[in-house]
């Protein structure tokens, strides 16, 4: 399978994201060079394992689920349409497998008709309310994309969007004083700047997901 130069991330680039390294590993594997995928497996396995554990799966079963997820990636390596989505694909697949494992375990516990106080062994842990590792990774990826795009905006647009984002209901008078823009122009200018920002993100080949 051939690929264009711009599909392959530069692995020597400083600060290369885990998602970019996953895309590179997948493309290398498709071209018959599995070494990069092996490196990516070692790097991303701890993240997948903690993601599975966060859903309430015990340690031993988490190992099995993560291994199954990697096998699924290899089986689907030639059909994944967007290499840069491989990390998200892995995280979603791992979470779904963990949810299914927890569901089956709860069904088994229910069938055994044991009293709740009989034993604590084997009862899944409740997921923590803290952000899970996969959420943190995706959030960091989103922030990286956004800040890179902001840096490419004209200075006035960048300052305006930064000021507007500081509050749910920004004070247009204060913004006007800060950047010397008429109050009546702020709303329309903000819209144009956001459109430019979306265009930059699209040009980078990234998906825009507001959250």
pLDDT digits (tens, 9 = 90+) for 117-160: 555 555 555 555 666 777 777 777 777 777 777 888 888 888 88
Q: How far apart are the first and last CA of the chain?
A: 36
**89-128 as b/e, with b when 16 or more CB fall inside 10 Å?**
bbbebbbebbeebbeebeeeeeeeeeeeeeeeeeebeeee
Q: How does DSSP assign 80-117, residue by residue? A: -S-GGGHHHHHHHHHHHHHHHHHHHHHHHHHHHT--TT
Highest averaged pLDDT of the listed ranges 42-46, 123-127, 128-132, 179-183: 42-46
What are the tens digits of pLDDT across the range 64-111? 999 999 999 999 999 888 888 899 999 999 999 999 999 988 888 888
Residue among 146, 177, 143 at smallest CA distance from 160: 177
Q: How does DSSP assign 2-53, residue by residue? A: ---GGGS--TTSTT--HHHHHHHHHHHHHTT-THHHHHHHHHHHHHHHHHHH
Domain boundaries, the chain: 16-113, 153-210
CATH fit for domain 16-113, picks 1.10.1420, 1.10.1740, 1.10.520, 2.20.28: 1.10.1740
SS3 for 132? coil
pLDDT value, residue 42: 92
């Amino acid at each position: 399978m051939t690929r264009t130069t711009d599909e392959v991330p530069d692995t020597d680039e400083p600060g290369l994201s885990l998602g970019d390294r996953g895309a590179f590993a997948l493309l290398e594997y498709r071209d018959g060079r599995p070494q990069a995928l092996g490196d990516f497996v070692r790097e991303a396995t701890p993240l997948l394992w903690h993601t599975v554990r966060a859903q309430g799966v015990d340690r031993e079963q988490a190992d099995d689920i993560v291994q199954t997820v990697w096998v699924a990636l290899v089986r689907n390596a030639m059909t994944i349409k967007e290499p840069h989505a491989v990390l998200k694909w892995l995280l979603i697949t791992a979470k779904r497998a963990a949810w299914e494992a927890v569901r089956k375990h709860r069904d088994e516990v229910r069938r055994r008709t044991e009293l709740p106080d009989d034993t604590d062994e084997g009862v899944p842990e409740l997921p923590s309310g803290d952000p899970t590792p996969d959420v943190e990774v995706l959030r960091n990826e989103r922030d990286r994309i956004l800040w890179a795009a902001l840096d490419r905006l004209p200075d006035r647009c960048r300052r305006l969007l930064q000021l507007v984002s500081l509050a749910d209901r920004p004070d247009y008078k204060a913004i006007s004083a800060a950047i010397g823009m008429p109050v009546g122009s702020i709303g329309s200018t903000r819209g144009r700047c956001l459109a430019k920002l979306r265009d930059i993100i699209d040009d980078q080949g990234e998906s825009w997901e507001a959250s």
